Amino acid sequence: MRQDHLVAAGQLSRADVERLLDRAAEFDAALDAGGDLPASYPEKLLALCFYEPSTRTKMSFEAAMKRLGGDVVDMGGVDASSVKKGESLADTVRVIEGYADGLVLRHPREGAAKMAAEFVDAPVINAGDGAGHHPSQTLLDLYTIRESAGLDDLTIGIVGDLKYGRTVHSLATALTEFDARMHFVSPESLRLPRSVRFDLHEAGAQVREHTELEEVLPELDVLYVTRIQRERFPDEDEYQKVAGEYRIDAETLDAARDDLTVMHPLPRVDEIAPEIDDTEHADYFEQAHNGVPVRMALLDLLFQNHE
């Protein structure tokens, strides 16, 4: 991987992904064993620049940096920063680059991370740009899939908000590097954006779109469930029309294979019933935990590129 920044999953080749996931497995094993880590960066500082709320992404990047022996500096909430005074994103990241060795940026505007990367030399990691991309989430998703079902000869169903779901856009892009059959299940109003469908078809992906999960559930190795994102809807009435459209419960999974893996990038609202949590299908909490070793691997490789 010879990338200076990570702003979109499309930057990563199959070889890049496999190298990152192999490195993550090394960190994962070391963390489990309580032994020495494969790499350490006690002199490094990572800046967390989150213009939108986050629990898992922000905390796992902080945990990853501290597990690597480094530390973090946090911009804090937008309301308590110079953004409130009208400072541009370009100026903010140029200032913060002087304080840290890398930046993790979450921003409500699509393309924000790509733009920020044009103004700084320190590595920029896109932690979500509106309804655009979320590549580090994709890496931990791929790690989880590889551990449970493998990444080749894979049949995956992706359910829910496909229009605004940046985790969906990034994951689907990354899966074009592997032998994956993708089934997208959503209301008509939340189908994949035309631009994403075009890119997937151009990449030779096997893409099928559905409105009913029952059509494909028995075929699936992995069911990737997403939340209907209320905050992305320009109109509350439009959100109410599709809220609760899909709900995965024990009855739903009666038709699934015994070895089906159920994933979710979290947070969930009501799209997966709590009764699923204690079944063999549930892998979403392990998926969240995988964020630490995967992001350790990502930071390790990006820091290596900047030495």
- Is residue 169 within 8 A of residue 133, CB to CB? The reply is yes
The pLDDT assigned to 253 comes to: 96
pLDDT band at 264 (very low <50, low <70, confident <90, very high): very high
276 DSSP 8-state letter: G
The pLDDT assigned to 29 comes to: 96
The pLDDT assigned to 117 comes to: 95
Instruction: Give catalytic residue positions.
Output: 56-57, 85, 106, 134
The pLDDT assigned to 153 comes to: 95
pTM: 0.93
- Strand locations in the chain, DSSP E? 45-50, 71-74, 102-107, 124-129, 154-159, 180-185, 206-210, 222-225, 261-263
